[in-house]
Chains A and B, each alone.
Chain A
Amino acid sequence: MRKGAILLVSLLVGSSLLLNACSDSQDDAIPPSSSTTAKGGAVTETKVSTEQAAAQNIKASDLSKLPDIAKQRTDTIIVGLTDPSGAFVPYFTQSGYDGNVNSQLQASLVTTDNEGVPVPELAEKWDISADNLTITYHLRKNLKFSDGSPVTSDDVAFTWTILHDKAYAGDTPIDVVHVKGGADYKAGKASTVTGIKVIDPLTISVTLDQPNATALTTLGGPVLSKAYYGKDYKFGQLDYIKKLYLAPVGTGPYKLEKFIPGQEVRFVANEYYYKGIPKTKHFIYKTSEGDTWQYLETGEIDFASFSATQENIDKLKGLGFVNVIPYTPSTYGYLQVNLEHEQLKDKKVRQAITYGLDRQSIYVDAAQGAGEVANIPSSPISWAYTQDGINPYKYDPEKAKQLLDEAGWKVGSSGIREKNGKKLTLHYLGFKSKSTDIFIPIAKENFQAIGIDFQPEVFADFNALVSKVESKDYDLASFSTPMLSDPSDGLSMFLPTGEVKGYDNPKFIELYNKALATSDIEARKRTYKEIFQLINDELPVIFTNYKKTVYGYNGRIENLSISPFNGISSSLPEWSLSK
C-alpha cells in the first residue's frame, strides 16, 4: 500500500497545506468577476492614486525588448485568467472566472461608468416611475444575438422569468429585488411573473413590490435569447441549460470559438456586436494557475495583474515592454466583530480596538504599499466614497487605553484588562494567507500594549473560516467583501438579516432604505455620507484595508483603458495592436 497510501493521505490531509499557495496566487491573476450579472475584473486610474506615489501609469520604455513570440501576433490578444471552468451562460455560472468569460460574450442592458453610475448599454434609455416602483427599459433598435436573430423584449422577459424559477441555483440576487409576483411564480402559484410587462418588441417594464435602486442594474444584466435558451423551458426544469454551457449565444463583442479545459478560452469577434465588430479579431483567455510572471516575461500573454508592491512595480518597469496601470478593486477588508459577546457590545471597546491596531503598518507598510487603510464600508473608487466627517482612527494606543478605561476595563495584575473578574480576550480567526501571517504578530504586539489578550486561530482555507464564524465561537474574524457594484452592496451585512449578527440600529435601517428608495445619485450620495459617518462611529465591524493592484500589459496594445467596475470588457472591443 505504500505509495498509494501516501498519495491518499496526501490528498486528504496534505491538500490543506497547499491551499494557501492557491489563495495567494489570486493576487497575481485577474480577479474573478464580482457577480454573474456585473462584469469582470476591474482596474482604474483612480482619484486615490494621488495619495500613493508608487502606483501610477507607467509607459513602456523600450518596446524593442518585446519577446518575439508577442511580436509575431498580429490579430490576437492573450490575457491570463486563473481558471475558467466552462459554464458560459450568464446567471448560471458558478465560478467568477466564467463570469469574466461571460462578460466578453454578453453585453448588458445597463452597465456602469467609472464611478459605478448606471449608463445605457443594450437599453438605450430607461424610465423610472415617480414612486420608484416601475422601471421601463427601452432597447436599442436592430440589436442582434451572435446567431443573427433579433433581441426583443420577449427575450428580456424570459431572462427575468427563469431567474425566478424554483430550480434556479445561480447567485444573481434576484430575491433582494422583490419583483412583483416573483414569489408567487417561484412557489408555482402563477404561470407568469405579473410584474414583468412586455409593452412592445423594444419596450419592457418591471414593477417591484418595494423601491430598490439596485434593481436597475440587477435586472439590467445580459439578455438570454428565448428562442435559443428557452425552447425547452418548463417551470422547475432548468437542467437543459447545462447542455448549452459550451455553445453560448450572446450580444457581447466576442463569440466563443473554442474552450480547451484547463488551457484556453478562445474568442472570435462577433460581427453582430451593436457597437461594430471589435478591432482585434481574436482574443484568448489563457488559464494561468499560480504565477503569471513568466508568461508576461516570455510574451505568452499580453496582460496580467499583480499586487501593487514596490517590488512588483519595479520589476514591471524593468521589463521595458509593458505599460503599467494601477487599480483598486471595488472591495474593502474588515474584521467582523462578534457583537453577541458582552465585551464587544460596547462601542468604546470596538473603537479602542481600532485605535489600538496599527493598521498603517499591517496593511500599507508591510504590504509594500499594496494597500490603503479603510475606515468606511465603501471602496475609494465608488461614487459614494467620502472622507468628509470620517474619523481616520489613526494609530493611537493612548487613546485606546483611555477608551478602555472609560468602558470599565481596568488593567489587572497580569497586565491584561479585566472587568467584573473577566479578562479582556479577543479570539481572532483568519485563514492561511500572506496577509494573515503579517497581521498576527503585529496585532498581538499592538493588543498586548493596550492590555488585551489576543488569541489568534488560523484556518486552512476560507470555507473553514466561514463555518467557524457561523458557529459564533470567535471575537474577531478577518474578511474581505466580494466585488461591490452598488454602495448598498457594502452595507447590506449590517441589516438585521445580514451577516453581522447582533447589530440592530433603526437609524441605519431607515437610512439604508432611504438611499435605495431613490435613483437620484446626488440624493443617494448625501444619504450614504450620513450612513458612512454613522457606521464609522459605531464600528459594527472594524474596517481594515483596501487592496491595491497593478496591471502590466504589452506596450503594443492601444486604446486600453480599464473601468473599475467592468474590468477590461468595456474597452476590449477597442483594443488594437500597433505595428
Chain B
Amino acid sequence: MSTYISKRLIYMLIILLAASLLVFSLYALTPGDFISGNLKLSPERKAELREIYGLNQPLLERYFIWMKNALHGDFGYSLAQQTPVLTLFNQYIWNSFLLAIVSTFMTWLIAVIIGVNAAYKQYSWFDTLVMVGTFAAMSIPSFFIGLFLIKVLAVDLKWLPPGGMLATGSNATGLAYLREVVHHMTLPVIVMTLLGLGSLTRYFRSNMIDVIKQDYIRTARAKGLTERKVLFTHALRNALLPAITLVGFELPALFGGSLIIEKIFNWPGIGQLYMQSFGLRDYPLLVGFTMLIAVLTVIGTLLSDILYHIADPRVKL
C-alpha cells in the first residue's frame, strides 16, 4: 500500500508538471494578450507595458519564472483584478464551494432515495415517471431552468431573491447573516440539484437493479429480514460501492465553481471570475486557477482509488 502510494505520488508530480507546461502554453498562445484589447493605448505605450509585465519574453522563460514563483508559493498578481491570485481564490472559491457542497449533498441524497425506490419498483408507474423526469432534467439547459425559476419565484411571486448572496446593503451578522445567505442560495441550489440529479439517479437505479438480482439478496430475504432492512442494509451498501469512485471525482467540481449558474444568479464565485479573466487574458489568474483544478483532479483520482480499496478489499492496488 505505502509503496503504491509513493509511486502514485511520483506519477502525480510528473503529471502536474506536464499539465502546468501545457496549461501555461495554451493560455499564453491564445491569440491576443492582456494589453492588446486596450484600444486607448498607443503602440509605443503597448510595447512599454508588455515590457513592464514581461509579456514580451519568450514563452519558456515566462513559464520558468512562473514555475519558480509558484514553487515559492507565489502564484502571481492578477493583472485585471490587481490583487494577488491566492487572495482572489480565497475571496471567491469558498462562495463557489458553499453552493457546490450543498447541492452535491442534496443531489446524492435525493438520487439515492429515488434511485433505490425506482429500482425496487422497476417498470412501475413510479419508475417510468422517474425515467421521464430524469431525462427531462438532464436535457433542459441550465440557463433556461435558472432564468425560468428567477422569473417565477423571484420576479413574479417574490418568494426568493433574484440573485446575489446577500441583500444589498445588508449589515446582518450571525444568525441573520446565515439566514440571508440560505435565502439567497436556495434558487441556485435547486437548479444545480436538478441538473445533477438525472444522471446520478439513473446510475443508482441501474446499480441497485444489478444488486437486487444477486443471490445474497435472495438469501437475506429467505432469512426473513424485513424488506426495508434487505434494501437499505444489504442491497444499498453494495450498490453504493461503485459510487465511491465518484466521490473523488467530485473534488475538482466542488472548488471549480459553476460558470453558468454563478452568472445567472449573480453569485460571487470563482467560475464567474474565471470567465471574465479569460476575455481579458489575465494570465496569472487563468493559469493559477486551471492548475488548482488540475491538482484537485489528480488528488481526487488518487482519493477514489484508495477509497475503493478500503471499501472493497478485493480491489488490489
Contact = CB atoms under 8 A, between A and B. Distances in A.
A73 B253 CA distance: 39
B290 A4 contact: no
A538 B191 CA distance: 55
A94 B41 contact: no
A3 interface: yes
Name which of B151, B260, B262, B297 has the most chain A CB atoms within 10 A of its CB: B297
Interface in A256-282: 260-264, 266, 282
A176 interface: yes
B18 to A, nearest CB: 13
B279 A462 contact: yes
A3 B279 CA distance: 25
Given A3-B253, A282-B169, A300-B168, A463 B279 contact: yes
A269 to B, nearest CB: 14
Contacts of A73: 169
A175 interface: yes
Given A11-B274, A173-B40, A76 B166 contact: no
Interface string B245-275: 0100111110010011011101011001111
Interface string A60-98: 000000010000010010100001011100001111001
Contacts of A261: 88, 91-92, 268
A264 B150 CA distance: 21
B95 interface: yes
B117 to A, nearest CB: 25
Contacts of A459: 31
Nearest to B294: A8
B280 interface: yes
A48 interface: no
Interface in A462-482: 462-468, 470, 479, 481-482
B49 interface: yes
Nearest to A290: B263
Nearest to A69: B167
A499 to B, nearest CB: 7
Contact of A464 (B31, B155, B253): B31
Interface residues of A, number: 76
B39 A479 contact: yes
A462 B37 contact: yes
A405 interface: no
Interface in A163-188: 167, 169, 171, 173, 175-176
Nearest to A167: B52
Interface stretch (A19-27, A120-128, A227-235, A339-347): A19-27
Interface string B270-287: 001111101111000000
Contacts of B268: 260-263, 287
Interface stretch (B3-11, B79-87, B132-140, B223-231): B79-87
Name which of B52, B81, B147 has the most chain A CB atoms within 10 A of its CB: B81
Given A19-B279, A294-B162, A298-B154, A497 B43 contact: yes
Interface string B141-164: 000000100110011001001111
B210 to A, nearest CB: 20
A391 interface: no
Given A94-B79, A288-B266, A465 B32 contact: yes
Contacts of B294: 8
B249 A2 contact: yes
Contact of B266 (A173, A175, A287, A497): A287
A8 B39 contact: no
A85 B31 contact: no
Interface string B61-99: 000000000000000010111110000100110010000
A111 to B, nearest CB: 19
Contacts of B53: 169
Contacts of B276: 22, 83
B162 A298 contact: yes
Contacts of B273: 262
A12 B162 CA distance: 29
A550 B301 CA distance: 51
A286 interface: yes
Given A3-B249, A3-B250, A467-B31, A294 B154 contact: yes
B45 interface: yes
Contacts of B274: 11, 15
B26 interface: yes
A468 B33 CA distance: 12
B297 A481 contact: no
Nearest to B27: A12
Interface in A348-371: none
Contacts of B278: 15-16, 19, 461
Interface string A213-239: 000000000000000000000000000
Contacts of B279: 19, 22-23, 461-463
Contacts of A294: 150-151, 154-155, 162-163
A109 interface: no
B43 A4 contact: no
A242 interface: yes
B41 to A, nearest CB: 6
B38 interface: yes
A1 interface: yes
A288 B161 CA distance: 13
24 contacts: A1-B297, A4-B249, A4-B251, A5-B297, A7-B252, A8-B252, A11-B256, A11-B289, A18-B263, A22-B275, A73-B169, A167-B52, A260-B166, A260-B268, A261-B268, A294-B155, A300-B161, A461-B278, A466-B32, A466-B36, A467-B36, A479-B39, A497-B42, A499-B43
Closest 8 CB pairs of A and B: A262-B268, A463-B32, A4-B297, A87-B82, A294-B162, A467-B31, A467-B32, A3-B249
Interface of B: 23, 26, 30-33, 36-45, 49, 52-53, 77, 79-83, 88, 91-92, 95, 147, 150-151, 154-155, 158, 161-166, 168-169, 246, 249-253, 256, 259-260, 262-264, 266, 268-269, 272-276, 278-281, 289-290, 293-294, 296-297, 300-301
Given A261-B91, A261-B268, 14 more contacts: A7-B253, A8-B252, A10-B259, A12-B290, A83-B276, A173-B42, A175-B42, A261-B92, A262-B268, A288-B163, A295-B163, A298-B162, A463-B279, A482-B39
